[in-house]
A = this chain, B = another copy of it.
């Protein structure tokens, strides 16, 4: 937010203000200069920042004062109840996996990796280069910067088998995170009141986007190699659905990777029903024991709409992803993105492309793979040693989560609250089910910060299950 020294004064004076009465006079700039060993410009900058935040006000020739918080009048907003009516869906504001952990807690609840696993220096250097010589004052085209489109297209084309026509740059729409891409896809490919097949359990963000789009969910049970193609066929036939949302690679939360045969069989069913497979490749860069390729690489008939995320392997702060779609649906999605947000920050696109086209990116991906293996194995070992009450149906070959089955009769929501009271945050399974959960589950993030505390986490979990 500011230079180090300015920031230090801002933080110091904020702490002072928090303890001061409204209207109190601040120490003079001269006094602050002495207290912080700073020059007049630095102190002035700090005062300016505090004033911009509405915390202080200066009166010419008198001094600077803590801005009196105006007494809030009791305002009445009840009239909005009639104007708004019932929401067509009650979206939860912050699901468990988006909550911030308390500073001392062990946070295995989130869906984001430890920053230690991410390429900090690459990201910082790329942002600095983008700031110095990139397009910082101009907008981007609606579909994105052409070179970044080309990178995403080349990535998918690179794994396409012979005989499949690969996608081109124009098939790529850059989105501010794949959640935005998914929202657009569900709006314009499915739409309100229409049916969408989903694996069950599946990513809560997809369930949220589906609720927002008003689509009707048709859950299909998952399996250790992917969903049963016959069940998928029956679901399409029964509901008239024209789309199936899935994560064939290291599905969130189960970690399941569809086998090649399952993938091809499901794709066949999708084609048979003239439908779309919405392939959410969220964990493309999170392989540990296997090297699966996206199903989309095997399709040039436009049946696969492909979502490619970088959030978990590059940085959650960059908010750049891609939707790759072929045929008329591509333009419908791009038009929806245009209406929704006009275009995506050209600064973030430039910095992202910079990282992706450097040799350091490949090095990072190798290190990430190794880091994920170590953490996954450590959490597995901790659970085996300390949490006999937890059962793991499958060791994931990639991704960042373990999907842990609890003894029947345990309420995962209550368990999560009890764990939190003991300093461990876990994500209760029900958030991933489009219907009532089949069994009690927890999701644990092994890429979370503080792997040295995994054994402690496993002990807490066992104690809470026993209690």
Mark A residues whose CB is within 8 Å of B.
1-4, 44-45, 48-49, 52-54, 70, 72-73, 75-77, 79-84, 87-88, 91-94, 98, 100, 112, 115, 118, 120, 123-124, 127-142, 147, 150-151, 153-154, 157-158, 163, 165-166, 176-177, 179-180, 183, 187-189, 191-192, 205, 208-209, 211-212, 242-243, 274-276, 300-302, 315-319, 326-329, 331-332, 334-336, 338-348, 350, 353-354, 356-359
Contact = CB atoms under 8 A, between A and B. Distances in A.
Contact of A54 (B2, B154, B179, B358): B154
A359 B48 contact: yes
A118 B314 CA distance: 30
Contacts of A326: 75, 77
Given A54-B157, A341-B180, A1 B134 contact: yes
A22 to B, nearest CB: 14
Contacts of A274: 79, 82-83
A52 B250 CA distance: 25
B132 A329 contact: no
A79 B273 CA distance: 10
A124 to B, nearest CB: 5
B120 A45 contact: no
Given A1-B129, A124-B132, 9 more contacts: A4-B133, A48-B358, A73-B300, A80-B328, A91-B339, A94-B142, A140-B317, A317-B346, A319-B341
A317 B124 CA distance: 18
Contacts of A131: 123-124, 127-128, 131
Listed residue (A179, A315, A336, A347) with the most chain B CB atoms within 10 angstroms of its CB: A347
Given A87-B332, A132-B128, A341-B179, A53 B316 contact: no
Contacts of A358: 2, 45, 48-49
A87 B188 contact: yes
A203 B104 CA distance: 49
B87 A183 contact: no
A80 B336 CA distance: 17
A179 B142 CA distance: 13
Nearest to A354: B1
B357 A53 contact: yes
A220 to B, nearest CB: 18
A348 B350 contact: no
Contact of A345 (B82, B187, B318, B359): B318
Nearest to A362: B48
Nearest to A342: B179
Contacts of A91: 335-336, 338-339
A127 B158 CA distance: 34
A340 B183 contact: yes
Contacts of A209: 339-340
A350 B49 CA distance: 13
24 contacts: A2-B354, A44-B359, A48-B357, A49-B357, A73-B165, A75-B302, A79-B301, A83-B274, A83-B275, A93-B331, A93-B338, A98-B338, A100-B141, A112-B138, A123-B131, A127-B130, A127-B131, A127-B347, A128-B131, A137-B315, A137-B317, A138-B316, A192-B192, A348-B348
